[in-house]
Structure 1
Amino acid sequence: MGKSAQNMEKVRIMLSQPKHKSNSDSVVMVDALKKLGIDHYFDEEISAILEFSYNNMYETHKNSYVGLTDIALQFKLLREAGYHVSSDIFQRFMDENGEFKQSLTKDVGGLISLHEASFLNMGEEILYTAYNFTRKHLKLSVEHLGQRSGALVRHTLEHPHHMSLKQFNARHYLTHVLSQTTDDASLSMQELARTEFQLNQQFYQDEFKKIKRWWSDLGLARELPFARDQILKWYLWSITALPGPQFSRHRLEMTKVVSFLYIIDDIFDIMGNAEELALFTQTINSWEDSSALPGYMRTCFIALKEVTGGIAQFVEEEHGLNPLNFLRKSWATLCNAFLVESRWFSNKQMPNAEVYLTNGITSSGVHMLMVHLLFLLGHNVTNETVHLIEGNSALVSCTAKILRLWDDLGSAMDENQDGFDGSYVECYMKDNPSCSLDAAKLHTKKLISKSWEELNKEYFFNTSFSPYFKEASLNCARMVSVMYNYDEKEQLPMMNDYIQNLLFGGNN
């Protein structure tokens, strides 16, 4: 038996011990496995622990010795697993004024757990209160903590797990948290995680070489020199949405789709004039003769048809259905939305904020991408799910709204793009002339928070779509802050860190 197999067996035995189910150690262990991204090896054992925890939750919580850390952690894990757990379980930690008790401010571990739990909000007032309370007191605690504990608190505030990329946080958790513990279970989990990181890193590097070769052979970077040439950035969307070796072919096809999304966006924003864009959109809708298009548009359309046909063929071979008409329709819907925007801004028209956002949800490209992903995955592809996604299901539209609004907050434009296509913030200020820029941005951030709450509901409790599809949508929402969080130098430091950790190393 190899070392990894031995470590898996050690962890599996500890998770399966009957006595382990009845104490908080098992829940902490499950949380660690999830944070390290190696929980998929222990699905059966974790399901048993969470079911036991749910069945005994309310009886357990009557005991005064069960503290905030345990309850918040149970709440988080159970809600993530789709159990209907009421946030009212936190009422015991509140005073008669509806505020969390001041005595909790000394419990940094409890504050961290409650803070993490607050991001699983589905519109619950008690979780708003929890977020504000924990954020305030965690910030205040930093100056009184040692270097390691202070760094952990800062990381929690900047990168809460539910809102952040699992692959990014996993390395931090291993290096700065779990590596400080030396019990058998922790050591086995550490070794498993390190092995997983190394295997995945090599796998992703090899996969990226294939993607670069495809992009080079395609030749669009040479044919369309005005468009962005950022194949690594585009690959990050795929690797984030669908991590793991089993989705390698899916990531390759998804990266192709993302690349055309960016290229066509640049055609609309930078290169095409009004007449050309109308003709290009008409051609995308008909999916037929491209002879009337300018050369650069014809090159793009012919390549798009070839790639889309290849994806449809792959889906048919894998899952027994050919989705070409649905894929074509998703591109037409996207280009129709692009054309609406181009006409607004070329004519110096500014729609009202609601009209802009409705169109912007489509022009974000998320809907088009998720249509492709639904068929690529092939799980739960039914008349119901196709109808839902064609109608822009909330699972998809919430992610799209988060992307559109975050992008429109825009602390900087893409470093390689010169086009202009307006923003929700500007439209909102036009609708509300007395509104300041800061107030408009605050309103936009509140809309993003509301979209996250609705996305949470869909992710936790929507049973129409497969777990992989739901995870992909959530992961795309998590990726938004990485892709659009520019610093004062108009750079993306978080994205650079993510690339370094995922593909090229980082300390294990």
Structure 2
Amino acid sequence: MRQHGYNIPANVFIKFKEAEGGFKTTLRNDVKGLLSLYEAAYLCTIEDYILDEALNFTKVHLKTMEKQMRTTLATRVLDALEMPLHRRMRRLEAKNYISIYQEDEGRINVVLELAKLDFHMLQSIHREEVRSISMWWKALGLAEKLTFSRDRVVECYVWPLGVYFEPHYSRARIYLTKVIALLSIMDDIYDSYGILEELQEFTEVIQRWDIEAVDQLEEVYKLHFLNLYNTFKEFENELADEGSSYRVDYLKESIKEISRAYFEEAKWRDEGYVPPLKEYLTVSLISSCYKALACASFVGMGAKATKEAFDWVTSFPRIIKSICSICRLMDDVVSTEAKEHYKLSSSTYDPPEQVGA
């Protein structure tokens, strides 16, 4: 129930413990029960000591029982031990579970056929979206003209697919993919291509969001801003009939905020400046783009995405700030490991070297 936002107390699990404090020995032979308890343990909070104990208990016994399980159940347990099932992408997990359920002797064939039909029908919608996005990306010509940038539009689609896979969010997925793809190019421009003077002009044009100002830019910056501007204009035109074109204004402000953060990091890089952790996070939580992408994820949605929702997400609430912090630092750890593996030069910030990181 915690997965669905209900703050259920962890003391509901006390009934599974002996008077002496340990978990009941009878649980050790109940594989499905252990698996459910294992999954629940990953939804713990700081004070849920009983779930910390449950995690250790279930891990040990699920591993020891691996050879005693039926093949289908063993597969599910091994997958869960690698990564809790509720943390996986739901549609990919649905495909995996269909394969497992198909081998289950107690399966209900009608349910199995319905699951397969549902999966393939929805997959056909997703394929059409990828086709549409790929055609849009090819028409922009950014991959051919900006050879220094990453050509990863299909990869960009996977992120929205993990956010919302349902058929009625088709437009939202397409919008979000386009925003991610254009931000990826912007990141490469600031990180790998631009010199500081040109980046300053580029940043100023983005802040003004003025199509007439692009002539002062060098061709690479001009090309990117024109595509960004035109894509957002398309969003506005499509949303105008619903009276929700105002959503794009929120998105524009998020993009402006990112460009300012990117430029600040570019200055750090050129000056060889390593900021203190607090200063670094103030900028890098924005440059992580997750705040902007949270906003972008609302733009193509239906009536549920109200103006109040946009006011909330752009106010940088604690949950969004926490997401940005986690993802930013995870990215930095991976980047640091990559530098060590490939012997790359130092970046703006190196987490292991910062006290308190």
Two-structure CA RMSD over aligned residues (Å): 2.4
Alignment of 1:85-234 (within 5 A): 85-96=8-19, 98-123=21-46, 124-145=48-69, 147-177=71-101, 179-182=103-106, 186-234=108-156
In structure 1, C-alpha distance between the alignment counterparts of 2:258 and 2:6, rounded to whole Å? 36
* Bigger shift: residues 195-204 or 254-263: 195-204
In structure 2, C-alpha distance between the alignment counterparts of 1:353 and 1:136, rounded to whole Å? 38
In structure 1, C-alpha distance between the alignment counterparts of 2:346 and 2:134, rounded to whole Å? 29
Amino acid aligned to 1:279 = E
Alignment of 1:72-91 (within 5 A): 78-91=1-14
Give 1:304's match in structure 2, choosing from 221, 228, 233. Answer: 228
Match of 2:265 in 1: 341
How many residues were matched structurally? Answer: 348
Amino acid aligned to 1:347 = E
Secondary structure of the 2:150 match is coil
Gaps of 5+ in 2: none
Identity percentage over the alignment?
A: 29
Give 2:328's match in structure 1, choosing from 395, 398, 404. Answer: 404
In structure 2, C-alpha distance between the alignment counterparts of 1:280 and 1:83, rounded to whole Å? 46
Amino acid aligned to 1:111 = L
Give 1:286's match in structure 2, choosing from 196, 208, 216. Answer: 208
Give 1:267's match in structure 2, choosing from 175, 189, 192. Answer: 189
In structure 2, C-alpha distance between the alignment counterparts of 1:245 and 1:384, rounded to whole Å? 24
Match of 2:254 in 1: 330
Please report the TM-score for the alignment, with normalisation by the length of structure 1: 0.64
In structure 2, the CA distance between the partners of 1:297 and 1:331, relative to structure 1 (3 Å rule), is same
Q: Is contact 2:175-2:299 (8 Å) kept? A: no
In structure 2, the CA distance between the partners of 1:297 and 1:206, relative to structure 1 (3 Å rule), is same
Secondary structure of the 1:318 match is coil
Amino acid aligned to 1:268 = Y
In structure 2, C-alpha distance between the alignment counterparts of 1:95 and 1:275, rounded to whole Å? 69
Deviations 1:158-185 (A, max 9, x none): 13122111111111111114540445xx
Gaps of 5+ in 1: 1-77, 433-439, 441-508
Please report the TM-score for the alignment, with normalisation by the length of structure 2: 0.88
In structure 2, the CA distance between the partners of 1:97 and 1:276, relative to structure 1 (3 Å rule), is farther
Superposed displacement of residue 98, structure 1: 4.3
Amino acid aligned to 1:115 = Y
Q: Is contact 1:353-1:428 (8 Å) kept? A: no
Alignment of 1:44-55 (within 5 A): none
Give 2:294's match in structure 1, choosing from 362, 365, 370. Answer: 370
In structure 2, the CA distance between the partners of 1:340 and 1:97, relative to structure 1 (3 Å rule), is farther
Q: Is contact 2:285-2:325 (8 Å) kept? A: yes
Q: Is contact 1:104-1:111 (8 Å) kept? A: yes
Superposed displacement of residue 96, structure 1: 4.6
Deviations 1:419-452 (A, max 9, x none): 97445xx2353325xxxxxxx7xxxxxxxxxxxx
Amino acid aligned to 2:133 = I
Deviations 1:433-483 (A, max 9, x none): xxxxxxx7xxxxxxxxxxxxxxxxxxxxxxxxxxxxxxxxxxxxxxxxxxx
